[in-house]
Amino acid sequence: MVDLLIEPIDTPECRALLAALNAALAGIEVTVLTWLPRAGKSLERAVLAASGDFTFATAGLREPELMEARAAVLLRGVVANMPPDVFVERITAPQRLFVLGAGDDAKPVVSMAALLGWSVSVMDGRAQMARADRFPEAERVIVASAASSEVLAIRPDDAVVLMTHSYEQDRDLLAAVLPLHPRYLGLLGARHRSSLLVSEAAAMLGWTIDACCDRIYAPVGLDLGGDGPEAIALAVIAEAQACCMGKLGASRRLTPQDVERHLQEGSAARYLQQQCALDLA
């Protein structure tokens, strides 16, 4: 038997492509332009950063070719305006999902998001629950509070699902995440509980109820029907996916009128008492 030794290819082009992939994983969009072989010329490539600057270009590419391709990319008119012999690949980061809550019902949410290729982070203030062995498909499992740097690093293009089942944690996390303006913010729980959380978070932030309701999907998830954690997870991920892809139709949303009505039905004391009972069990 003959052992084949394959040497790693270390060329400027390979290094540039690897750098482009690493940049995308870090959340920086890049565009790879490939000029297909033409008469007298071999395959050529260039890497265009989101800033509009070329970070790499094959030596044989002339400036007019690069400028023409860049103009088409920056105008987002790739199909209509790009030269026919140029193949365009946009490399973007995976969708990031923050699951704030490490209960058992968070497991199918993490699993389904991972199947979509999303980068999933699970966070909870309870160390006994926020363990990597409970969420093997998550990229990160972190013990984190509302003031943690990991929570405050949530970006406007991220998706967030708030599901700790701890009233105090949910309230503090909601108040911390709302000003970060994530693309999707889903709040798990009954309408009455969610209304109380929204009212308290609004008071903590000095926001109106209306402003909070505009940024929250609650009850979380599309109304798909079904029971159990898996059915809820499917509804949640479907809604988050549709929202992040700009395809969301009708979702269930709290209104300021809902919040006012539920506030009249009772305070948050029942949820705090339930949580104390759970902690003591």
Residue 171: closest CA among 149, 203, 218, 141: 203
For the record, the structure tokens of 188 come out as 């798990």
Lowest mean pLDDT among 33-37, 74-78, 134-138, 163-167: 74-78
Domain-by-domain residue ranges, the chain? 12-20+27-91, 96-280
* Mean pLDDT, all residues of the chain: 86
pLDDT at 233 exceeding the cut of 90? yes
pLDDT of residue 250: 63
Q: Which of the four pLDDT bands, split at 50, 70 and 90, describes residue 165?
A: very high
Q: Which of the four pLDDT bands, split at 50, 70 and 90, describes residue 198?
A: very high
Cα 266 to its chain centre, rounded Å, is 34
- State how far the Cα of 138 lies from the Cα of 143, in Å rounded to an integer: 14
pLDDT of residue 6: 46
CATH number for the domain formed by residue range(s) 96-280: 3.40.50.720
Edge to edge, the sheet with strand 119-124 lists 140-143, 119-124, 96-100, 159-162, 184-187
pLDDT of residue 279: 47
pLDDT of residue 276: 47
pLDDT (tens digit per residue) in 65-87: 888 888 888 776 445 567 778 88
